[in-house]
Copies of this chain bind each other. A is one copy, B any other.
Amino acid sequence: MAGGGDDAAAARNKMVVPKRHVTGFPTEEDMEVVVGTVRLGVPAGSTSAVLVKNLYLSCDPWMRGRMSRHDEGATAPGLDFVIGETMVNYGVGKVIDSTHAELTAGDLVWGMSGWEEYTLVTQPESLFKINHTELPLSYYTGVLGMAGLTAYAGFMEVGRPKRGDFVFVSAASGAVGQVAGQLAKIAGCYVVGSAGSDEKVDLLKTKFGFNDAFNYKSETNLTAVLKRCLPDGIDIYFDNVGGATLDTALLHMRQGGRVVVCGMISQYNLEEPDGLRNMFYIIPKAVRVEGFNVGGYFHMYSRFEEEMAGYIKEEKVVVVEDVVEGIESAPAALIGLFSGRNVGKQLVALARE
């Protein structure tokens, strides 16, 4: 019976909690896995809550910012992780019990859940019911979830591509980059990507259909490589890394170009961010540099889900995932994002069903 959780069976619940606030480069030891118990039902009297069994957890770069201690107002403080409390982030799960009007036991959902085996979601409006169960469920941690919607909103709504545009995507084999680049191809653009290993560069060219790609770690001169790969300049730069890559791209923008500022993973572990010295050039070139985050675009999720599911079925968008098994593997998987250890979308599989 829905909402009868006070009498429900109890189960073990392993969870990942932060041990301390992080400055500089995070390590696995900044988190720990602790074991608790959970009642497998929504407590009596909770009129709109959902008990979710978590199946897949998403590892996302923005989690790094939430590990730091913030001054008031610096970022949205409600998103910061709380020391000793289960980390909250996007995931895929199965509804075990629900008092929410639109979700019932057995439904598959994605949205904000916990880094633990079971989560009592008390704000179920942050959960989306999964409609395309014929596709791999794990895709809802990435291409059909937050990362995919981020790429779609950023590239299509902020970048406003035109056929023939020259597009540059950094961190291009990552969860957002791989989708942004493939959307650029669908839009008829010429797409160049950067990534941090030859293996990833090969993926960009052979699997994701980028026109060109380069390994930023083995290139000594970013200016030269951008001139070589994009001799006519850049119409849209989809920025996932910030820092020197952004600064160099600013020099190479074309008249009326757009810089879609999605993330700055190169900067998240620095005590002081790198200084950008080329912003002046946005004046003569009339370049728009626009920051955005997916929070402003969830209203278009339904349309996005249908469109993206179609691209996946037509193989216009392919997906590369990096999957680790078990909640004990989650801290290392998250840390790996910041050294680029992952190849493709990083996620943690807790259970499959």
Which chain B positions have C-beta within 8 A of A292?
283, 286
Kindly identify, within residues 125 to 146 of chain A, every residue whose CB is under 8 Å from any CB belonging to chain B: none
Q: Judging by beta carbons under 8 Å apart, are B76 and A284 in contact?
A: yes
Q: Quick one: CB contact mask for A258-275 with B, threshold 8 Å, 1 for yes?
A: 000111100100001111
Most buried by B among A264, A281, A283, A296: A283
User: Would you call the interface of chain A mostly helix, strand, loop, or mixed?
Assistant: loop
Once A75-B284, A284-B75 are accepted as A-B contacts, the answer to whether A279 and B293 lie under 8 Å apart by CB is no
Q: Quick one: CB contact mask for A277-318 with B, threshold 8 Å, 1 for yes?
A: 111111111111111110110000000000000000000000
Cβ-defined partner of A263 (8 Å) among B246, B283, B293: B283
- CA separation between A349 and B278, bound complex, in Å? 36
**A276 interface residue (CB < 8 Å to B):** yes
**A242 interface residue (CB < 8 Å to B):** yes
Which chain B positions have C-beta within 8 A of A242?
279-280
Cβ-defined partner of A275 (8 Å) among B263, B267, B277, B288: B277
Cβ-defined partner of A286 (8 Å) among B264, B280, B287, B296: B296
Q: Judging by beta carbons under 8 Å apart, are B293 and A290 in contact?
A: no
Which residue of the partner chain B has the closest CB to A288? B290
Which chain B positions have C-beta within 8 A of A276?
275-277, 279
A158 CB to closest chain B CB (Å) equals 9
Q: Judging by beta carbons under 8 Å apart, are A273 and B284 in contact?
A: no
Q: Judging by beta carbons under 8 Å apart, are A261 and B284 in contact?
A: no
Which chain B positions have C-beta within 8 A of A295?
286
- CA separation between A256 and B70, bound complex, in Å? 21
Q: Judging by beta carbons under 8 Å apart, are B290 and A289 in contact?
A: yes
Can you spell out 17 A-B residue pairs with CB atoms less than 8 angstroms apart? Answer: A74-B281, A75-B281, A261-B282, A273-B278, A275-B276, A276-B277, A279-B291, A281-B291, A282-B290, A283-B292, A283-B293, A286-B291, A286-B296, A287-B291, A288-B290, A289-B289, A289-B290
Q: A75-B284, A284-B291, A286-B291 are in contact. List 11 more A-B contacts (CB 8 A).
A: A76-B284, A242-B280, A263-B283, A264-B279, A275-B276, A282-B290, A286-B290, A286-B295, A288-B288, A288-B291, A289-B291
